[in-house]
Amino acid sequence: MQQFPCPWCGHRAEGEFHYAGDAGIDRPDRTVDDKAWAHYLYFRRNAKGAAHELWIHSAGCGRWIVLSRDTVTHAVTGSEPMV
């Protein structure tokens, strides 16, 4: 079992966290066309390697965090509160 760092709780078992999608996806203005809206909803970078992801520490403090994680090695290199 891998341990993930929570900015609030320290290192905890990965099973306490749940993945919730890419970090840093901005909701576009509601006047954008269907293509731009679909891009926002569905199209993803799907990075091989370094990724920034939203996770929730659901079985811990319940806070949303941003994990810097490598999708090839699974190494977690950073963790910060979601702003």
Partner 1 sequence: MNAVKRHYSGWSVLREGLRGQTGWTKAWHDRDPAPRYDVVIIGGGGHGLATAYYLAHTHGISRVAVIEKGWIGGGNTGRNTTIIRSNYFYPESAALYDLSVSLYEGLSRALNYNIMFSQRGMIEVAHSEAELEMMCRAANAMRINGVDIEIIDRDEVLRMAPILAPDLNVRWPVLGGQIQRRAGVARHDAVAWGYARAADSLGVHIIQNCEVTGFEIACGRVTAIETTRGRIVADRFGMAVAGHSSVLAGLAGFALPLQSYTLQAMVSEPVKPCLDVVVASSSHGAYVSQSDKGELVMGGNLDRCPSYAQRGNFPVTQSVVASLVEMFPSFASLKLMRQWGGIVDTSPDNSPILGPSPVEALYLNCGWGTGGFKAIPAGGTLFAHILATGRHHPISAPFDLTRFDSGATIDEGHAGVAH
Residues binding partner 1 (CB under 8 A): 1-2, 14-15, 18-19, 34-35, 38-39, 41-46, 48-49, 51, 53, 69, 71-74
Strand partners of residue 21? 54
Structure token pair of residue 53: 């992801």
Closest among 39, 64, 63 to 54, alpha carbons compared = 64
Q: Smaller CB distance to partner 1: residue 15 or 81?
A: 15
Q: Cβ-count burial of 69 within 10 angstroms (0-12 exposed, 13-18 middle, 19+ buried)?
A: buried
Q: Smaller CB distance to partner 1: residue 57 or 69?
A: 69
Q: Smaller CB distance to partner 1: residue 10 or 15?
A: 15
Closest approach, Cβ 79 to partner 1, in A, equals 14
